[in-house]
Homo-oligomer: A and B are copies of this chain.
Amino acid sequence: MVDNIREPKQQRAIEKKDKIIEAGFNLICKNGYYNTNTAEIAKEADVSTGIVYQYFKDKNDILLEGLYKFGDNIFFPILTLDLSNYDIKNFDNDLTNLIASQIKNHKLSQRAHEEITAMIHTDSNVAKYFYDKEFEVTERIKNLLVKNGYEEEQLLEKVHIIIGLIDNLCHEIIYHKHKDINYDAMTNITINMIKNLFKK
């Protein structure tokens, strides 16, 4: 039984594999994993169904590769930023930008977030991805803060709280469900809470 998944060597083939990943991940994000079938993915990627299984072990594998390729943008946009020049003095500005960027990326994902994170409980690869990325994000922010002189106790815990706050804010803004809420105000409050966390 030949079950070796082919790793495409020709340029055209690589592009094709990429197209499948993109088509598959898009459809999954848009309609959900269980509401997306391989025929659709193939059609969206403009390939035959057969070729899908030459590049991917199974449907789940497409999701995983999509996650590896696009996940940062959607789930951990902070990882895509270059933080080397970040100066903590422009805290307000930086945070505002970060939030804006996160919202922009988040919007692309549509229903991806919940369903894919739900798979953490089923799929160990998905779980590992999120675990590793969360660790990476935390470390990154922690280091940024330390570099800027915030070497205090409970830094890790605070960082986790911050991430949650921002995530929550973005989520709220994106889904825009509650019409009575003033999202600018909410953003300001959030930023101030974060700043207060580090006031001495």
Contact = CB atoms under 8 A, between A and B. Distances in A.
B120 A189 contact: no
A39 to B, nearest CB: 5
A190 interface: yes
B40 A1 contact: yes
A12 interface: no
Interface stretch (A57-65, A72-80, A178-186): A178-186
Contact of A156 (B110, B114, B122, B181): B181
Interface string A20-59: 0000000000011111010110010000000000000000
How many copies of the chain does the oligomer comprise? 4
Interface stretch (A82-90, A93-101, A157-165): A157-165
B165 A2 contact: no
A167 interface: yes
Interface in A132-185: 134-135, 138, 154, 156-158, 160-161, 164-165, 167-169, 172, 177-178, 180-182, 185
Contact of A118 (B39, B115, B157, B177): B115
7 contacts: A111-B121, A113-B118, A115-B115, A157-B182, A160-B172, A164-B165, A164-B172
